[in-house]
Structure 1
Amino acid sequence: MTPAITPDWSALDQELEAWQQAGLQLPLWWRDDDATEVTPQLQQLTETAQRLGLPVHLAIIPRDAQPELAAHMQNTTDLIPVVHGWAHKSHAPEGEKKAEFGAHRPVQDMLGEAEAGLERLKSFFGSGLRPMFVPPWNRIAPEILPWMAGLGYCALSTFTLRSRTKAAPGLVQINTHLDPIDWKGSRSLLPEAQLIAQVASQLKDRRQGRADTREPYGILTHHLVHDDRIWGFTETLIARLLAGPAMAWTYDERIS
């Protein structure tokens, strides 16, 4: 058996040292998508978050959410429920990128489902639910954004750097920035060197003022499809960030 090669973290370590020398802090948050029920993978996610001291914003698919999930989450502060679309069903035409809330449907239909998702998860989690909308596949039609606050949402989360603080009036944008999964290839972990270089580059851009330093830096995971490599890298990365300039961040609509 070929021994595992230890990844070279030096580029990230150097960037974290630069942050500390500059007296900077990095708000760090974690979002994990596609939950509906209690599974061994969800239990592993819970235990990992507890070890790290970084709660997970669990994006739950409202239509398929099971009552047992709410019962499980009542016993932990390490999982924070947020709304993940409605049914995680793509309505995009064949050949286009998948989207449940893309520009392929009447606005009223999408708003109805977004409202239904919020209300269904409120019935499970009550005031513990954070009014953050996470569109499946991180895609959402801009036409519906001005209406989201009126439904009761206070935040929108997709992927990559946000272009502005608010997606619409009353709707703060809080994105994720690193997804370790090779979705278009092995569906295991992307090359570790690539991921380490990406994080180091993203943090350097923030430190040098080329990116929004106020937006929390977001890790995006999908616990149901993780293998050991994905679990291991994610935990190691988060631990390294928290040992440096990062501080655990969770969304609270009262201070957004």
Structure 2
Amino acid sequence: MKPDWNPLQRELARFRTERVPLPLWWRDDDATRDTMALQRLLGVSEGLDIPVHLAVIPRPATADLAAVIKDAPGAVPLVHGWAHENHAPDGQKKAEFGHPRAAAIDEARSGLRRLKSLFGARLLPMFVPPWNRIDPDIANALPHLGYTALSTYTPRAARKEAGLVQINTHVDPIHWKAGGGLMPVDRIIAALVQTLQDRRRGRTDHLEPLGFLSHHLVHDDATWAFTKHCLETLLQGGATPCNLLDMKDDLP
């Protein structure tokens, strides 16, 4: 049975009627090197004319990735932790920077330095903690290392905290709890409509760009198809694509 996109289209129509802005940004996690999946991702980005913000894992990142991004004006690299290694205590949800660690600050500093050396001015100094979890004390240290923004998951509570602009993601189509693959599309659409309603009704910050989160390395064909169709529906419904690098001096 084909998914029903009508609820999303109706909600987007309400945004247009009520003249509520809908900025949209796309974040894709776990890039390290040039792959066929990365090329497919960049092709979707170019075809839809929406930038893709690549959360790059610094330690394994390669020079060939930097060369690809240099030739892809719609690709914006971000700092995705350090090595994407789980340091959570036993029994806790996975996290690389979710708990105090002696090496955490040095790793965050090294991540920014390494990616600056690879990408130069193309790098947006936004910290994206693996598994979207970060300890408050580590977050508080990030501005002193040169970071200006932080991105995790779910609507932000405030635009700026501890000197960092928070720009999160809100839509993730992968069914992680089932081991991967695409979550049932009707469930994704229903959650996205609820997210939009919360923004339109003032329950969450409607000025925060709506964040679509993808993971190109684990997409199957169904996930690729959904990603393209969902982004296309949002754009056709009035969402405005954001390139956060172009907005770096006044992040929304």
TM-score normalised by length of structure 2: 0.97
Which amino acid is the alignment partner of residue 99 of structure 1?
Answer: A
Q: Does the 8 A contact of 2:171 with 2:211 survive in 1?
A: yes
Is 1:28 paired with 2:24?
yes
Which amino acid is the alignment partner of residue 44 of structure 1?
Answer: R
Alpha carbons of structure 1 residues 104 and 144: separation in structure 2 relative to 1, 3 Å: closer
Q: Does the 8 A contact of 1:24 with 1:245 survive in 2?
A: no
For 2:248, which of 225, 237, 253 is the aligned residue?
A: 253
Find the counterpart in structure 1 of residue 144 from structure 2: 150
Secondary structure of the corresponding residue to residue 212 of structure 2: strand
Which amino acid is the alignment partner of residue 151 of structure 1?
Answer: L
After TM superposition, list the pairs within 5 Å mapping 1:135-214 onto structure 2: 135-169=129-163, 171-214=164-207
Find the counterpart in structure 2 of residue 18 from structure 1: 14
Q: Deviations over 1:161-210 (max 9, x none)?
A: 111111312x1000000100000104110011001111111111111111
Is 1:115 paired with 2:109?
yes
2: CA distance between counterparts of 1:6 and 1:155?
39
Q: Does the 8 A contact of 2:21 with 2:207 survive in 1?
A: no
TM superposition outliers: structure 1 runs of 4+ over 4 Å: none
Q: Does the 8 A contact of 1:165 with 1:172 survive in 2?
A: yes
Find the counterpart in structure 2 of residue 45 from structure 1: 41
Secondary structure of the corresponding residue to residue 176 of structure 2: coil
TM-score normalised by length of structure 1: 0.95
Secondary structure of the corresponding residue to residue 123 of structure 1: helix
Q: Does the 8 A contact of 2:25 with 2:210 survive in 1?
A: yes
Which amino acid is the alignment partner of residue 43 of structure 1?
Answer: Q
2: CA distance between counterparts of 1:66 and 1:128?
15
1: CA distance between counterparts of 2:19 and 2:98?
41
Which amino acid is the alignment partner of residue 226 of structure 1?
Answer: H
Identity of counterpart residues, as a percentage? 51
2: CA distance between counterparts of 1:126 and 1:249?
21
RMSD (Å) for aligned C-alpha atoms? 0.9
For 1:58, which of 54, 59, 65 is the aligned residue?
A: 54
Q: Does the 8 A contact of 2:21 with 2:206 survive in 1?
A: no
Instruction: Figure out how many residues of one structure are paired with residues of the other and give that number.
Output: 249
Gaps of 5+ in 2: none
